[in-house]
Structures are given as structure tokens and as C-alpha cells.
Structure 1
Amino acid sequence: MNVVPEPLPGGSALASDYIHQFENVEHLYGGDFRNRENRVKRAEWLDGTASLRANRTGVVSYLRSYNGAHNAHEEVMRSIDLLEQPETLVVTGGQQSGLFTGPLFVIYKAITTIQAAREAAAQLGRPVVPLFWIAGEDHDWDEVNHTYVLNRTGEISRIKLDIGEGPRSSVSEIKVEAESWLQATLQLDGLLQDSEFKPQVMEFVTAASLGSDNMTTAFAKLMGSLFGQYGLILLDSADPALRRLEAPMFAAIIERNDELEAAYTAAADRIAAGGYVLQADVTPGNANLFYIHEGARLLLHKEGDRFADRKLVVSFSRTELLELLESHPERFSNNVLTRPLMQDYVLPVLATVLGQGEIAYWAIPQQAFGVMGGQMPLIIPRMSFTVIEGTLHKHMDKYGLSFTDVRLGLDDKRKEWLTAQDELKIEERFEQTKAAFTAMYEPLIEQLGAIQAGLLKLGNNNKDKIIDQISFLQGKALDAMEKQNEAALRQWERIELSVMPLGKLQERVYNMMYYLNRYGLGWLEELMAVPADYSGTHRIIYM
């Protein structure tokens, strides 16, 4: 495995400035994650504010129960034991659960979280444990119910998990029948080529899937199979047992909702004043809180002292909402702007690992942390990779293609290469023939028109038909040439499908199961051994 940096242009301007020109956006965030002094200051602040957070013993008890059920590796239990100690801090990462772990970047985020926790522990000389916050409370089922793999013939294939109709529930609450899991796992099995590693891969995929009745549980079991050995603690944000621990923060969010709204609005104005685009909506009257009603997750808005959803399915006074929270905390759920506050309340978060889009929207709750008596944790950009297999790399070298060439699109490069294979210069000669024919034939048509006006129209129609026939033969000749170079063009297609599927970075599309099937679990161990890099630089992994 050879790892080469490959900086990528584009992305969020705000996130780019956070990574590369922090001084421009320091007022929108906490301290610079690269500065050891800031890590020390954050740790000291956490030590002095333990009383502001959820009861550590209660959180640890919950984590023991959840991980004991889905992620019971001895290293995980050791991490949880450490978390029980008051000096232990946490580095978090998180994502929605996804089918068979979802796209590759989820795996890279987990790796970043583990490596960042190790580094922080060494720097600070105190325990720092990694924790992955599964956003099971999110309700965008269509975003997580499918995944993509390269199939046996090197083409992209989509696997989708089907369920029956139901309310717009949190992903953790959507029931998945055993038959649906079986169909999805059989589809994965059929798409993956046979390999020495396939039985092991399918064994833990099948065990996680058929042993679960929802997406989040299956995701947790798979993540535990992959990362439990590294001590990665898992947490489901939709777990009712966790909700009871979160109730005091939900109460504060309800009671101070107007102040939070003002803080979000002020931050949004500062972001816009800096010339940046907001990455999350900040709308007047949004309570930034969901209420679960008859299985449906409803976003609450404020009108005066009342909280209601847009369709007025539910409507509560502030007092009624607080009473409901006391009796039914499991009915409450965060949105993207209150989740950072909740995470900081539940855990002693030294730093959190975010993708570039997340880095940009985390600037919005920066002032809201202060409203709740907190401080924004340090932010660590997740690591980003593209995997290029050995055969694929040889093909790229053969055709003189760089990663940038593939990223920008290969149509022009492929056409140039195909033209270079044309020793007969077919296209050029056909174009010359059409030009010569036109030059000879048009004067004759003009002369015929002088004899009879109808002959001019007839002659032009005749000329166009002959040109069409020449073009038809030209197309057939080019098709024959492409067929002659079919194997090579297939290699070009494979390069594109592997490196930039669907026109997107590989890590945003493909599932990791193809690579585990190809290289075994040792591939994950090699990824874990890649030196940490929090500079936001994309890196190419040449296998």
C-alpha cells in the first residue's frame, strides 16, 4: 500500500478556510485543532465543568448495556471502563447508519476518530477514548437504505433494502423484516466475486443483518465487528435509554429556545457577512427540535408560546412540552443544530471528527454553546481517501492518466486516445471526402437551378442524402474501430467506474465490502496503520 497526497479543489469555502486559513474564521469556531495548547485548554475546561454535563456513571452504564448487546469486544469494554474515570475525555465521530456500513467515508471517519483519540491521549498524558455517535434518530430512510459495490464484472451495482410503507420514523424505529435482510445479503453475495476472504466477509455481514430488526442495530453490529478491536465505543442517538439521560438538556433547549434561536440567527448573519454560504437552514420560529408522534418524527416550530409542527398535527404550550418530556423523553429528538449541543452535554468531548460539509454547518451553533453554558469542542477534519487497485494503476499508467484526469472526466482524453489509434485517419479522410464532394456538387446544383427552379431543391435534397450516407459509413467505420479497441475502452471504463463512480469521489459511493472481499480484513488493518493527517488533504491509496 502506497499513500500519496492529492489536494482537491472545491468544497465548502468555509470548511476550506477552517482547514487552511483558520485565522479568517477563528471568530466562527473554537480553537484551532492543530494547536496542542488548545487541546490542553479544552481538557482543562472540561475538567472544570463536569457538573454541567450528564451524570458520567449513568452514561457509562448506558454505554455498557448498548455495546454489550452489539459491540461486546474486550477493548470496547476497556474503553468504557476508562470513560468511567473522571479524567477520561472523548473524541467523537458520527454518521447515520447505512446499509452494510454505507459509503467508504463512514469507515474513514471511524478511523480518524480512533487515531485522533490515540494521538490526543499521547499528547495530553491522560485517557482519551474514541466514540462513534450513530445518528439513529435521523429519518431520511431513502438516504440510508441502499449502497453500491463493484460487481464481478467491474460494473457498479446498487443494493437496496426494501421495507413496507409506514410513518416518517427515525431510522432506528423502522422495522426491517428478516426476509428483506436475507434478500439484501443474498444480493451482496451474488455481486461479490469469489475470493478466499468472501466466506468470512459474508459470515459477519449475515450475522449482523439477520440478527437485527432495524438498520441501526445491523450497522452497530457490523461496525463492532470491524472496529471493536480498536476500542471504538458505539452510541445510538435514538435509544430510549439514552433519552432519559438527555432529558435535562432537552428541557434547557425548550426553556431557552428563544435565546438559542437568536444565537443561531446571529451566527448565520456573521457567516453570511463573511461571504460564506450557510450549510444548514436557519429559519425564524424553528424550534430545532423534533417530536415523535405516533411513530412520525415531526419538526416543531414556535408561534408565541406554543410549539407545533407545520401541519398542526401536534401543538403544545411550553409547559405542556416540558411535562411530556418528563413522562416521555423518548418522544424528543434533536436536529442538526441541537445535536452538537446534546453531544457536548452527554460526553466530555475533547474534539469531534467532521466532514467538510459538517465543518461548515457547525459554525452555526457556535454561539448556542455559550447560551447553554458550554464551549464548542475542537473540530478535526476527517481523513479522505481514494483506493486505486494495482491493475487499475497499471492501466492508468498505460494511458498516461492521472487521478486529476479521471476526476475531471475522461471523455476528451478517451476520444484523443481513440483518434490516435486510427492509423487510416478515418475521421479526417471522411471529412475531407464530404468537403470535396460538397465542393464539386454544389456548383452543379446551382447550374441546374438556372435550368429549372425545382431542380435546385431536388439537388440540395440529393446532396444531403449522399452526405448522410457518407456519414453513416463514417459512423460504421468508427464503430468498427471502437470494436477493434473494445478491450482497451473497457479498461478506460473500469478506471472511471472505480475512481469516480456516478461522477463522485469513490468514498461517497462505494461500500467497503468489495475491498474487504478483495483484500481481507488485513486491508482495514493497513488503513489503520496509515499515518494520521488532519490537514483535509485527500490521499490516494495505491494497492
Structure 2
Amino acid sequence: MRLQQYTQPFASSFYKKYLEDITDLSSFFHYEWNQKAFNKRIQEADFSKHKRTELAEVITSFMSKYGISAKSKQHIDELKNNGIVVIGGQQAGILSGPLYSIHKAISVIALAKQQREILGVPVIPVFWIAGEDHDIDEINHVYIERSRTLQKLVYPEKSRIKKIASESTFDLQLMDGYLDEIFKSLPETLYTKNLKLKVMELLENNLTYTSFFTALMNELFQEEGLLLLDAAYEPLRKLESDFFQLQILHSAEIAKVVFEHEGEMEKEGFGTPIQAKESAAHLFYIKESERFLLERVNDRFIHEAKGISFTLDEMMVIAREHPERLSNNVVTRPIMQEMVFPVLSFIAGPGEIAYWGTLKTAFELFDMKMPVLMPRISISIVNAKTQSLLEKLSFTIEDVWDGSLQDAKLNYINNNRNEEIPRLVEEIKEDLIEKYEKLEKLLMNDGLKLSPLVQKNLLNHEKQLKFIDNAIEDTFLSKLDATVNRYDRISMNLVPNGGLQERTYTPIQLLNEYGPSLIQKLLEVPYEFNGKHHVIYL
């Protein structure tokens, strides 16, 4: 195993600025992301205010279904006393969703270990699962390889309503067939059979998106003591009751300061990552497992399309007596996280860092500061075959990211193309058009009204020319196929769908190739929290 680090490819302007010169963004964040910031955070934050006993009970209750390792129990006990947390979160995708879910968990674990040693206090890794999200189209698919191309494979069952992920249930027979299709797309290795058996075993008692996701993540990371918690878990909602009441009482102020702060971000040239509205309530109401975003209109909290409407007093009653009917959005979720957990640091992806940048003044409404926002570790894994192809074609991974590999592929094709052939086909087409135009004029001069027939006949000839042109191109490319395939294999491994590997693939492809010890190997890599992209050569 070999590790190399590179400047982040495909980074947005705001993310680049955050990585390279966060001091210029001090109006958007309370802390930089360095050891000095961690030291300052632990001195400033009031970690005594949290409901530690209740939180520990909620986590224990949630995780008991999936199995609590000795290390996880230790972390729960530490959290109950004086522990602080490094936390990150993600939607509950099938088979963990994209690889960056795994990279977030690795980041949370690695940073917690690092800061536990440096600060000399218990620092606990926590993964917050966004089970309250209802956009199932974002999590209901994986990408598999078929016929040397990547194809999006969507879980086939369609729901007429958009339930939250924690209440969206799989049909066991359909999911069995779906997973079988995924495994058929993988090459058979020493690990395939056992991996499939383990996945099927996890599915058996976990037939919602969230529970299946949780079971897999716990399987992969329980020996590291990663604590898992579903944002939609009803006992957690009860613990959050007081905090929902605070957010409801201050909803107008939250909306105002976020709207204004995002405006400042736009003036700086960084766009509007959350497109905030001044009328937003920044809360959802859950009705029959569906989630509806509320707005504030004439002192009421409404969702007009569904006829939902509450007064402030009614919202307060819901928060007190039925907090499970409420859900946070992109603005209030980070605030809720800070109220629930004693957070040292939040592990953030590029998009999260951008929208957190709009929230500084919202945190200040509650006399809180944002935690240290640490950019998550981003990873590309280069297998032996891809390494060999890069060496044979004399390319670096940076050549793949910047498009040089794709340019070289096109140059190779064009340099081997006989340009006389397409030119001749085009000449034949132009000649046909000219001759048919001449024929049409002669017929018209003689009063023979046959224009539709002439045009139809010309169209038939053009179709035949197109057919032979395509056949020539296909035959030509098949002649070059061995070399072209080398370029395509590199691209499919390192820049699938034109972006980083971690945004497309799930861990299932890697676990099938390298076996169950892969996660432990990845956890042993000496990562640096320096904003670089980590490339691991296996």
C-alpha cells in the first residue's frame, strides 16, 4: 500500500478558498481548521449543558438492534460522563451509498483518535444518519458496470408518496433480486460468496433504507467504536423537544439572519448554497411518514399545497407533545446537532462547508459557536490493474483528473483515422443532394408534381449513407479497441461519470476485490487532515 497526496481536484471556488485561505472567510466561520482551533474550541465551548445521560440512553437503545461492541460501549460510557465528539453524517444510501460515506466514517474515527491523544480527553466518533430525508431518488440506486460502461441501477419499487428514509420499506423479494443483479455485475473473487451472504443476512432484519444502512455501517466500523444514530429515531426526537421549541420561537430570527448572511456570501462571489427565503420556517412537519417543509405566513406555519397550517402556540404544543412530527432542514439540523451533542468538530464535505458558511449568525442567536469544520478525508483507490495501465500509457493520476488522458484517447483515435473516408462519404451526400435538386427542378418545369416522392427517395439514400458511415466508424473503433479500452478502464476506475471515484462507487466493488480486511487497512493509513486528496495505491 502506498499513499500520495494531491491538491483537491474538481473543487468549487468556495471549497478551494476554505482549504487554502480560510482566514479570508472568517466572517462565515467561528474557527479555522487547525490544532489551534481545537485547543480554542475546547476552552470556549460549554460542554456541561448537554443531556448526556439521556443521549447515552438514546444511542444505546438505537444501536442495541445492530450490536454494540465493547469499544462502542466504552464510547457511550465516556459520552455519558465528560466525553466530547467528532461527528459527521450522511443519507442512508443502499450499500452505504457512495464511497464518501465510508470516507466520512473513516474521517470521524481518525480525527477522534488524533484529538483524544493530543487533547488528553475522551473524543468519541459519532455518525449521524439522515433518516429523516425524504428524497428517496437520491439514495435508491448504485452504479454497476455493464458492457464496459457504468449504468445506474435503481431499486425497482416506486412509492406514490415520498416517505422519509427511516420509514421507506423494501419489498424483501424485490430487494433480493436487486442485490442479486448487483452481485452478478461483479467479477467472481475469493470474497464474493461470503460478501453476498453477509449482505443478505444484514438485509433480512433491516428492511428500511436507514436500518439496512445502519446494519452495514455497524458491521464495517463497530470494532472502532463508531456510534451511530438516526436523526429520525423517535426517542431522539423526544430528547430534542426543548430544542425544537427554541427553534420555533426564534424561527423568524433564524430565517432573517440566514437570508442576510447568504446574501453576504453571494456578494463575495460564492453563490447561494441553500437559496434561503426570509419566509422560511426551516422546519418540516411529518404527516403519515411524509415530510412537508413549512413556511411562515401571517404568523402561521404553513404548507399551502397540503393545507397544513399551525399557529405558533400549536407548533409549540407539537414540539412539546409530539416532537416526532417535526424534522430539521439544512439550516436547523446543524443547530440541533450542536444542542444535542458536545461537538468538538464536524466532519464536512465540500457542499456541507458551503452551506454551513451561511449559518454563523444563526448559531449566535443561541449563544453558540459553530464547531471546528474539518474537511473530510477524500480518497481515491488505485488498484494494481489501473496502476499498470497508467505506467504503460505514461500517465499520472493528475493527467486523468485534468482531462489529458481523455484528450490523448481522442488524439490516438484521430491519428489512426483515414480522413479520406468520411470526406468521401460527405462528398457523396452533397453530390446526391445536388443531383436530386436538379431532378426536382426538371420535373417541376415539365409540370410533373413529384416533389414528395423525390424528397422521400433522397431521404432513403441519406439514411443508407448514415448506416454505412456508422458501420465504418464501428469497424474502425473495433480495430483500435484493445488500446481504447485501456484508456476507458483508467477513466472508469478513477473518474467514473466524470468525477471522483468516491462520488459514484459504493464500497461493495472494493470489498469484493480486496475482502473484508479492506476497511481495517484503510483505517491504518496515516491520513493527514490537510485538505489534500489522498490516493491509495493497493
Structure 1 length as normaliser, TM-score?
0.88
Query: In the alignment, residue 6 of structure 1 is paired with which amino acid?
Result: Y
Query: In the alignment, residue 488 of structure 2 is paired with which amino acid?
Result: E
Partner of 1:539: 534
Q: Secondary structure at the match of 2:506?
A: coil
Partner of 2:77: 81
How many Å separate the matches in 2 of 1:419 and 1:287?
57
C-alpha contact 1:73 1:224 (8 A) present in aligned 2? no
- Alignment partner of 1:131 is 2:126: yes
Shift of 1:540: 2.2
How many Å separate the matches in 1 of 2:236 and 2:425?
77
Structure 1 pair 471/37, CA: closer, same or farther in 2 (3 Å)? closer
How many Å separate the matches in 2 of 1:500 and 1:532?
22
Query: Which blocks of at least 5 consecutive residues in structure 1 are unaligned?
Result: 455-465
C-alpha contact 1:7 1:539 (8 A) present in aligned 2? no
C-alpha contact 2:345 2:371 (8 A) present in aligned 1? yes
C-alpha contact 1:92 1:132 (8 A) present in aligned 2? yes
Match of 2:326 among 332, 337, 350: 332
Shift of 1:225: 0.5
Q: Secondary structure at the match of 2:301?
A: strand
Match of 1:163 among 146, 150, 157: 157
C-alpha contact 2:406 2:487 (8 A) present in aligned 1? no
- Range with bigger deviation, 333-342 or 17-26: 17-26
How many Å separate the matches in 2 of 1:470 and 1:182?
47
Partner of 2:53: 57
Tell me how large the CA RMSD over aligned residues is: 3.0
- Alignment partner of 1:26 is 2:26: yes
1:105-254 to 2 correspondences below 5 Å: 105-150=100-145, 155-254=149-248
- Range with bigger deviation, 123-132 or 293-302: 293-302
Query: In the alignment, residue 489 of structure 1 is paired with which amino acid?
Result: V
Partner of 1:66: 62
C-alpha contact 2:156 2:174 (8 A) present in aligned 1? yes
Structure 1 pair 256/479, CA: closer, same or farther in 2 (3 Å)? closer
C-alpha contact 2:242 2:319 (8 A) present in aligned 1? no
C-alpha contact 1:103 1:512 (8 A) present in aligned 2? yes
Q: Secondary structure at the match of 1:93?
A: strand
Partner of 1:463: none
Structure 1 pair 392/427, CA: closer, same or farther in 2 (3 Å)? same
Structure 2 length as normaliser, TM-score?
0.88
Shift of 1:173: 1.4
- Alignment partner of 1:15 is 2:15: yes
Q: Secondary structure at the match of 2:33?
A: coil
Can you list the C-alpha shifts for 1:153-182, whole angstroms capped at 9, x where unaligned?
654243322335242221111122222321
- Range with bigger deviation, 123-132 or 185-194: 185-194
- Range with bigger deviation, 9-18 or 129-138: 9-18
Query: In the alignment, residue 96 of structure 1 is paired with which amino acid?
Result: Q
How many Å separate the matches in 1 of 2:407 and 2:43?
56
- Alignment partner of 1:521 is 2:513: no
How many Å separate the matches in 1 of 2:159 and 2:463?
53
**Percent sequence identity over matched residues?**
29
Shift of 1:378: 0.4
Query: In the alignment, residue 17 of structure 1 is paired with which amino acid?
Result: K
C-alpha contact 1:96 1:138 (8 A) present in aligned 2? yes
Shift of 1:73: 2.0
Partner of 1:427: 419
Partner of 2:445: none
How many Å separate the matches in 1 of 2:99 and 2:393?
27
1:495-506 to 2 correspondences below 5 Å: 495-506=490-501
Q: Secondary structure at the match of 1:69?
A: coil
Structure 1 pair 472/345, CA: closer, same or farther in 2 (3 Å)? closer
Can you list the C-alpha shifts for 1:387-406, whole angstroms capped at 9, x where unaligned?
22111221222223332333
Shift of 1:202: 1.3
- Range with bigger deviation, 510-519 or 200-209: 200-209
Structure 1 pair 149/536, CA: closer, same or farther in 2 (3 Å)? farther
Match of 1:400 among 360, 384, 394: 394
How many Å separate the matches in 2 of 1:173 and 1:339?
19
C-alpha contact 1:181 1:210 (8 A) present in aligned 2? no
How many Å separate the matches in 2 of 1:90 and 1:352?
9
